[in-house]
Structure formats: C-alpha cells, structure tokens
Amino acid sequence: TGAQFVLRIPRPTDFFVHGKRSGAPMLPKDIGLVIAYTGMNRSDEVLDAGTGSGIAAIYFGGIAAHVKTYEIRPDFSALALKNIKEAKLDNVEAVAADVLTAEGIYDVIHLDLQIATEHVAFAYDHLRAGGYLACYTPFLEQMAIVVDAAQARFPEVHTHELIEREMTRSKRGTRPSTSVSHSGYITIARK
C-alpha cells in the first residue's frame, strides 16, 4: 500500500501499556520512585514480591544484575513468567511461592502485596548492610503498618506519595487531565 510503519523493540513501558495484566500493576511513576530512592543498579540482587503480571520485575530486570520475583498465586506467576519471557529478560526469575520462603541476601527488596509485620522483619533479615526495602501500599492504614514495623528495625525510613498529573492540550487551552493522580505510597527503609 506504500504506507510506512515503524517496528519497535518492546521496552518496559510497552509491557505496562500492552502486556496482559493479572490485577492493578504499579504505575511507572511509582516503579521509578523505587528505582530512584533505592539507587538500584546493574550490580544489584533484587528480591521482588507480589509479582502480579510482572511489570515491576520487568522494569527492575532492565536495571539490576538479577531479579527474583515471588508471587503466591500460581496463575499470576504463570502470567508474569510469560510476560518476562516476552520481554527477553534472562536475569529475571519468577517463583510461584510465598516470599517468606525465599532464601538469600539482597541489595533491594521490593514488596507490593498485603504487607504484614513479618514481611518487614523478613526483609530486614535478608538485606545486605546498606540495602533497601521498598514497599508499595495503596492505603494509609497499610502504609502505617509498614512504617511502624520498619521504624522498629531500620535506622532510616521515609514514605512518599508521588502525585502525577498528566496535562491535556486542546484548542480551548491547557489543563490537568481528569485522571486520578494518586496511586499509593512508597515506603523506603535502609538497613
């Protein structure tokens, strides 16, 4: 037909937009905050839990040396594994099990699940000195559980709410989009 088209190699942002989802994945802005405030880098061993469809693990896999992601629901874990394979990330391992069964020592532990005090204690025991725990919580009550448990163990604990407003431009003018700007809270604790 003579029409031109562009073929793109998928990036993590494409998996967020087009990948099959098992629930509500973290938004890229929240994943970016985790990466920025933990200083995640190419030498890091990362433990991720609450894999869902694997979106955060895919982002982390593009940065870290190795990501091991745990999902307690086998159907979600299978979907995440499919998405991770499509992303062609051989440094991301998906495990269908409770994160509390994980072994090893990590530079960054990321939790996006119904977090209880034992998850925070587990993270503290499995982090290297100077390592980071990053917890995503959608509600204030859950964030309070994380902060209280973390402050009892970690010397540094900070919680952030990242508000994002997309801008819409039309002939009438420019204004913030009406989409929701709050997605949750990120608590970062350093050992």
- Give the domain range for residue 56: 15-190
Can you give the pTM of this predicted structure?
A: 0.86
The CATH number covering residue 129 comes to 3.40.50.150
Give the total number of structural domains in the chain: 1
Q: How many C-beta atoms lie closer than 10 Å to residue 98's C-beta?
A: 13
Asked whether residue 87 is domain-assigned, the answer is: yes
Asked whether residue 45 is domain-assigned, the answer is: yes
pLDDT 10s digits, 68-90? 999 999 999 999 999 999 888 99
d(C-alpha 73, C-alpha 34), whole Å: 23
Asked whether residue 1 is domain-assigned, the answer is: no
- Per-residue pLDDT band for 4 (boundaries 50, 70, 90) equals confident
Q: Is the pLDDT of residue 19 over 90?
A: no
Asked whether residue 8 is domain-assigned, the answer is: no
In terms of Cα–Cα distance, which of 130, 143, 118, 163 is closest to 43? 130
What pLDDT shows up at residue 100?
98
Asked whether residue 4 is domain-assigned, the answer is: no
- Mean pLDDT in residue range 35-56: 96
Asked whether residue 76 is domain-assigned, the answer is: yes
Asked whether residue 5 is domain-assigned, the answer is: no
pLDDT 10s digits, 110-153? 999 999 999 999 999 999 999 999 999 999 999 999 999 999 99
Task: Return the biggest CA–CA distance within the chain.
Answer: 66
